Amino acid sequence: MSKAPSAAERIRQLQDQINDYNYHYYVLDDPKVPDAEYDRLFRELQELESRHPDLVSPDSPTQRVGATGETTFDEIEHRVPMLSLDNAFSDEELTDFDRRIRDRLKTADGIEYVCEPKLDGLAVSLHYEHGKLTRAATRGDGYTGEDITANIRTIQSIPLKLRGQGYPDLVEVRGEVYMLRDGFEKLNHRLAVRGDKTFVNPRNAAAGSLRQKNPKVTARRPLQFCGYSIAVLDESQLPDKHWDCLRKAKEWGFRINPEMRKAQGVDECLNAYHDLEDKRDKLPYEIDGIVFKVNRLDLQRQLGFISRAPRWAIALKFPAQEELTVVEDVEFQVGRTGAVTPVARLTPVFVGGVTVSNATLHNMDEIERLDVRIGDTVFVRRAGDVIPQVVKVVKEKRPDSARTIECPATCPVCGSDVVRPEGEAVARCTGGLYCPAQLKESIRHYASRRALDIEGLGEKWIDILVDKKMVRTVADLYHLKVEDLRQLERMGEKSANNLVNAIEDSKAPPLGRFLYALGIREVGESTAKSLARHFGTLEAVMEASEEELKTVSDVGPVVAGQIRKFFDQSHNQEIIDELRKAGVAWQSEETDQKRQPLAGQTWVLTGSLSAYSRDEAKERLEALGARVSGSVSSKTSCVVAGEAAGSKLDKARSQEVEIMDESQFVAFLEEQGVA
């Protein structure tokens, strides 16, 4: 029998295992174990370390936050200066760069380059001594940076300890700290909800996060690190190509950009640039260009530096995603639910690869938060496929003639009153479906792909049909005839036939889609599906009280209130009646009650499961209708026995209660579609 490991051995084992899991999760994006298993090991390590504080080492995965106290921002001199890169802005400038290199090297042959995306973040330097992270610094002025070690330690994709063996005793890894787009959006949302100042872009957010004195704040920010160069500070040897150096960094546990590639000669570099430009908006992080580096380190040494930049590297920039422009006017658009949205009309500006002349200002609170006025010079940002936004006002450029923006008292489309309920950011037109703007938007929503999916009924035709008063409610769509449509300019016989057929084909939607198509405020696709599954028929939803509605998963008091309000309005009841008369027949759904195969049964969970926490397993059983109890009796329907199950398992055996082990349980949940 093998001996139980000592506390010191177990701590080391757990540290190594967790470091390995972190590497797979944060660097390779390929988790090795479920979160529950990771959490269990992490807790075990925390408990062991709290019982044996003398065995806690600074590179333990539990010591990322706070182990070295506050971030000091003390000055740190770079052993090797952190230089900047020269920029190129056109294919010609890159071609000139390549020519200069070949002239200096006196060669006509194509040079091998490494092409790396230029992440829009902050350059940092990390020092490792005997494999342990000892200090981290910002670039600063290139010669002296700031000590940000405590904050850097909180970034999970930065190893506190290098992986494997064979790394130099003293090595510096440089790279970029950056924030993923969706982490940035979530962070800004959180800040905005709290009324705090938001960040203009992911780069600013990353900089602000690294500038925190308290590393606990940095730890909550979704930062990442990607390495782009290594420098050995002792006598050991590096591979002789930049590409192979980065492979080494990867072996030591760093994230290296997966888009990196080699190019032979300038033409392949230009191809790499254009390929990456096409991908730019789809990447989960922002990049502002592509960096080309001569691959052979001996050639790099030969080429050397000019003033503060290497001669062997250049950044070819993409079009900027932020530009300055002027707010010429602000207009208000009316949406499906009557929301009156301010839209800034801008002096056209080329940003993010397109000419932008409008940007949303979201709502009156946003206008207040930004303190934007007509005539102001603003930062407009267009990144990815997100609609252009005004993100900052340049107050110093505000002209005396700048005008404040007022929310209109009446709807700019139908003239009905606009109201802004106390405490709400959104102002609304009270015109309902009398307002052509709301009517058009509600028809667009009804016909949209995720609702009734009426192909061919696009914005253009909806505008015409509403403006010509051929459609006053969605029910009118079902009375359109080919002959009526043929009267419309540019509507051919075939298109008219197709549209009438598409409308006809939408007559038997599943209830969930139909509920979504009605456009009830706060009822998105998933809530609509939950309502359909819970109530089964439209009548049951229409008759449900707010209390009954609140028993549906995802339906809280606000949503329940909106649903009741919608069905209480007589014009909505009339439209549903007209739809019914026109032959629209939504299909009833099997309700959750009918789909609860464990209704009336009592289940017991014992021992620990690796795939689910106790609460997650309980939630799933309850969704299938079971009651989950803490004790076994002859009335127990089934006991799920995880690892190290004890007396409850014995009791289940003695009472001849059905027992499932973890793999049977997981298979059962999969069969039921709730795994």
Name which of residues 85 to 104 contact ligand I6G (CB under 6 A): 85
Q: Which of 94, 115, 123, 272 binds ligand I6G (CB under 6 A)?
A: 123
Binding string, residues 340-369; x marks residues near ligand I6G by CB under 6 A? ------------------------------
Tell me whether residue 82 or residue 621 sits nearer to ligand I6G (CB atom): 82
- Are 224 and 177 within 8 A, CB to CB? yes
Indicate the burial class of 275 (C-beta count within 10 angstroms; 0-12, 13-18, 19 or more): middle
CA distances from 671 to 615, 622, 653, 674 (A): 20, 16, 25, 8
**Minimum distance between the CB of residue 270 and ligand I6G, rounded to whole angstroms?**
18
CB-based contacts of 640, cutoff 8 Å, min separation 6: 603, 604, 605, 606, 609, 617, 659, 660, 661, 662, 665
**Minimum distance between the CB of residue 351 and ligand I6G, rounded to whole angstroms?**
22
**Minimum distance between the CB of residue 141 and ligand I6G, rounded to whole angstroms?**
14
Tell me whether residue 83 or residue 217 sits nearer to ligand I6G (CB atom): 83
Tell me whether residue 257 or residue 337 sits nearer to ligand I6G (CB atom): 257
C-alpha angle 668-669-670 in degrees, rounded to nearest 5: 90
- Are 222 and 180 within 8 A, CB to CB? yes
Judged by CB under 6 A, does residue 201 bind ligand I6G? no
Judged by CB under 6 A, does residue 83 bind ligand I6G? yes
Tell me whether residue 172 or residue 376 sits nearer to ligand I6G (CB atom): 172
CB-based contacts of 203, cutoff 8 Å, min separation 6: 120, 121, 122, 178, 179, 286
Distance of alpha carbon 27 from alpha carbon 157, whole angstroms: 5
Q: Which of 223, 221, 129, 214 is nearest to 175 (CA)?
A: 223
**Minimum distance between the CB of residue 332 and ligand I6G, rounded to whole angstroms?**
43
**Minimum distance between the CB of residue 242 and ligand I6G, rounded to whole angstroms?**
9
Count of CB atoms situated within 10 Å of the CB of 301: 9
Which residue bears the tokens 């089964």?
536
Name which of residues 229 to 248 contact ligand I6G (CB under 6 A): 229
Judged by CB under 6 A, does residue 433 bind ligand I6G? no
C-alpha angle 373-375-376 in degrees, rounded to nearest 5: 65
Tell me whether residue 314 or residue 477 sits nearer to ligand I6G (CB atom): 314
Q: Which amino acid is at 430?
A: T
Tell me whether residue 58 or residue 310 sits nearer to ligand I6G (CB atom): 310
Judged by CB under 6 A, does residue 584 bind ligand I6G? no
Stretch that binds ligand I6G, among 73-81, 115-123, 272-280, 539-547 (CB under 6 A): 115-123
- Are 598 and 573 within 8 A, CB to CB? no
Tell me whether residue 305 or residue 350 sits nearer to ligand I6G (CB atom): 305
> How are beta strands 427-429 and 602-606 bridged, if at all?
unpaired
Judged by CB under 6 A, does residue 313 bind ligand I6G? yes
Tell me whether residue 116 or residue 589 sits nearer to ligand I6G (CB atom): 116
Tell me whether residue 303 or residue 518 sits nearer to ligand I6G (CB atom): 303
Q: Where are the beta strands (DSSP E) in 599-654?
A: 602-606, 627-629, 638-641
**Minimum distance between the CB of residue 276 and ligand I6G, rounded to whole angstroms?**
12
**Minimum distance between the CB of residue 215 and ligand I6G, rounded to whole angstroms?**
24
Which residue bears the tokens 């973890």?
662
The token duo for 315 is 């950044």
Q: Which of 64, 78, 118, 373 binds ligand I6G (CB under 6 A)?
A: 118
Tell me whether residue 310 or residue 432 sits nearer to ligand I6G (CB atom): 310
Distance of alpha carbon 230 from alpha carbon 634, whole angstroms: 66
Judged by CB under 6 A, does residue 291 bind ligand I6G? yes
- Nearest residue relative to ligand I6G (C-beta): 228
Judged by CB under 6 A, does residue 114 bind ligand I6G? no
Q: Where do the H-state alpha helices sit in 280-390?
A: 297-303, 364-370
Q: Does residue 118 have an active-site annotation?
A: yes
Where on the phi/psi map is residue 595: left (φ > 0), alpha (ψ -120 to 50), or beta? alpha
Selected catalytic residue, list 118, 248, 648, 651: 118
Q: Which of 225, 228, 254, 612 binds ligand I6G (CB under 6 A)?
A: 228
Distance of alpha carbon 340 from alpha carbon 419, whole angstroms: 10
Stretch that binds ligand I6G, among 116-124, 155-163, 430-438, 454-462 (CB under 6 A): 116-124
The token duo for 346 is 């801008």
Q: Where do the H-state alpha helices sit in 120-180?
A: 149-152
Query: Which DSSP string do the residues of 353-382 spell out, in sequence order?
Result: TEEEEEEE--SHHHHHHHT--BT-EEEEE-
Distance of alpha carbon 333 from alpha carbon 342, whole angstroms: 6
The token duo for 423 is 């405490």
**Minimum distance between the CB of residue 313 and ligand I6G, rounded to whole angstroms?**
5
Name which of residues 157 to 196 contact ligand I6G (CB under 6 A): 176
Which residue bears the tokens 């007022």?
406
**Minimum distance between the CB of residue 301 and ligand I6G, rounded to whole angstroms?**
13
**Minimum distance between the CB of residue 40 and ligand I6G, rounded to whole angstroms?**
38
Binding residues for ligand I6G, rule CB under 6 A, total 11
Tell me whether residue 117 or residue 215 sits nearer to ligand I6G (CB atom): 117
- Are 81 and 90 within 8 A, CB to CB? no
Judged by CB under 6 A, does residue 116 bind ligand I6G? yes
Binding string, residues 453-482; x marks residues near ligand I6G by CB under 6 A? ------------------------------
CA 562 remoteness from chain centre: 28
Judged by CB under 6 A, does residue 112 bind ligand I6G? no
- Are 254 and 246 within 8 A, CB to CB? no
Q: What is the dihedral of CA 600, 606, 608, 614, to 10 degrees?
A: 40
**Minimum distance between the CB of residue 142 and ligand I6G, rounded to whole angstroms?**
9
Task: State the residues that interact with ligand I6G by CB under 6 A.
Answer: 83, 85, 116, 118, 123, 176, 228-229, 291, 310, 313
Cite the active site residues.
118
